[in-house]
Chain A
Amino acid sequence: MSIAEKIKVLIVDDQVTSRLLLSDALVQLGFKQITSAGDGEQGMKIMAEQPHHLVISDFNMPKMDGIGFLQAVRANPNTKKAAFIILTAQGDRALVQKAAQLGANNVLAKPFTIEKMKAAIEAVFGALK
């Protein structure tokens, strides 16, 4: 079993299309255990019930945004060790700094390429295959 197959990933994005694209990219990278949610609140609910190893979350979302979600994940002893990658369509330095301060593992700009996503994940977990 490859590393990718063992990693449980949670995708959080308010756009259905973005979730589908990301999940498609992850399948191409060899991931098999992928769950998705439409906002941070829903994502946190899933994490609390069943912690995932890797969270890939959009920044701009209704209810709880990516930063709020990151804080919630880091504040919960059961989920705080999860790797957390934030995706953003409108990145700026303030967001990148804030995310880094709060313990995000990476911030990726949309539209990302599969290669960039792979590099961001491998930076945390090592080579996927």
Chain B
Amino acid sequence: MMTDTAARRVNIIQGEYKVIDDPNVVLTTILGSCVAACLRDPVAGVGGMNHFLLPGSASAMSAGGDATRYGVHLMELLINGLLKKGARRDRLEAKIFGGAKTIATFSNVGDQNAAFAMQFLRDEGISVVGSSTGGEYGRKLEYWPVSGRARQYPLTGAETQKTVALEQRPAPAPRPVESSIEFF
């Protein structure tokens, strides 16, 4: 049986996503109001995680707003990455974590982020096999992308405040096409 000490830990920060087909890798992240979507194809043996916080107000979160497009983009990057590694869209299963309600956020950004992820998965026909969202405290999350096993630890109040404060810094804008070009 695989032991935790043997696992290679790969940390994910806000705005990132990773796709992994190595059963010895565990993906980790720390979530305040942010949400992590963990997706995998159990047949292809590949899985991955993203970590996002949609900027904002209710109007920006509304259908068709820029925030929605940003969230859809991060979900699409993860799904495209999985498909490239042999996953099939109709076999994908998801677990959703995060979206804590915290005093530091004026509007209920956490709830909106979790609701966005759930709505996205429903619209795309991807089944949600587990979730833990909301609550007053942040989470430290571990996800084994090949087996689909997930484990979370609650953050303390102070850790949650610190995490949320970090999350509120403006996220780097998604890279436009041109900036990813390398010249040799």
Chain A positions within 8 Å of B, measured between CB atoms, are: 14-18, 20-21, 24-25, 28, 60, 62, 88-93, 96, 107-113
Pairwise interchain contact A16-B76, C-beta atoms closer than 8 A: no
Pairwise interchain contact B66-A15, C-beta atoms closer than 8 A: no
B73 contacts A by Cβ under 8 Å: yes
Q: Give every chain B residue within 8 A of A111 (Cβ-Cβ).
A: 66, 69-70, 72-73, 174
Q: Give every chain B residue within 8 A of A108 (Cβ-Cβ).
A: 177
Identify 17 new A-B residue pairs, CB closer than 8 A, beyond the known A16-B125, A60-B80.
A14-B89, A15-B79, A20-B63, A20-B123, A21-B68, A24-B64, A28-B64, A60-B83, A62-B83, A89-B80, A91-B176, A91-B177, A91-B178, A109-B174, A110-B72, A111-B66, A111-B69
Beta-carbon nearest neighbor of A109 in chain B: B177
Q: Is the interface of B mostly helix, strand, loop or mixed?
A: helix
Pairwise interchain contact B76-A89, C-beta atoms closer than 8 A: yes
Q: Give every chain B residue within 8 A of A17 (Cβ-Cβ).
A: 72, 75, 120, 123-124
Pairwise interchain contact A25-B123, C-beta atoms closer than 8 A: no
Bound together, the chains give a CA A12 to CA B79 distance in angstroms of 17
Which of chain B's residues 69-97 have a Cβ closer than 8 Å to chain A? Answer: 69-70, 72-73, 75-77, 79-80, 83, 89
Number of interface residues of B (CB under 8 A): 25
Bound together, the chains give a CA A21 to CA B73 distance in angstroms of 11
B181 contacts A by Cβ under 8 Å: yes
Bound together, the chains give a CA A89 to CA B72 distance in angstroms of 10
Beta-carbon nearest neighbor of B62 in chain A: A24
Beta-carbon nearest neighbor of B80 in chain A: A60
Give, as a whole number of angstroms, the nearest-CB distance from B52 to chain A.
12
Q: Give every chain B residue within 8 A of A25 (Cβ-Cβ).
A: 64
Give, as a whole number of angstroms, the nearest-CB distance from B2 to chain A.
32
Q: Give every chain A residue within 8 A of B69 (Cβ-Cβ).
A: 21, 110-113
Q: Give every chain B residue within 8 A of A89 (Cβ-Cβ).
A: 73, 76-77, 80
A-B pairs, top 4 by smallest CB distance, nearest first, are A91-B177, A111-B69, A109-B177, A24-B64
B59 contacts A by Cβ under 8 Å: no
Pairwise interchain contact A92-B76, C-beta atoms closer than 8 A: no
Bound together, the chains give a CA A111 to CA B89 distance in angstroms of 21
Bound together, the chains give a CA A33 to CA B10 distance in angstroms of 47
Give, as a whole number of angstroms, the nearest-CB distance from B103 to chain A.
30
Beta-carbon nearest neighbor of A113 in chain B: B66
Q: Give every chain A residue within 8 A of B72 (Cβ-Cβ).
A: 15, 17-18, 21, 110-111
Q: Give every chain A residue within 8 A of B80 (Cβ-Cβ).
A: 60, 89-90
Q: Which of A18, A28, A93 contacts B76 (CB 8 A)?
A: A18
Pairwise interchain contact A96-B64, C-beta atoms closer than 8 A: no
Pairwise interchain contact B124-A15, C-beta atoms closer than 8 A: yes
Beta-carbon nearest neighbor of B175 in chain A: A109
Pairwise interchain contact B89-A62, C-beta atoms closer than 8 A: yes
Pairwise interchain contact B124-A96, C-beta atoms closer than 8 A: no
Q: Which of B64, B176, B178 contacts A21 (CB 8 A)?
A: B64
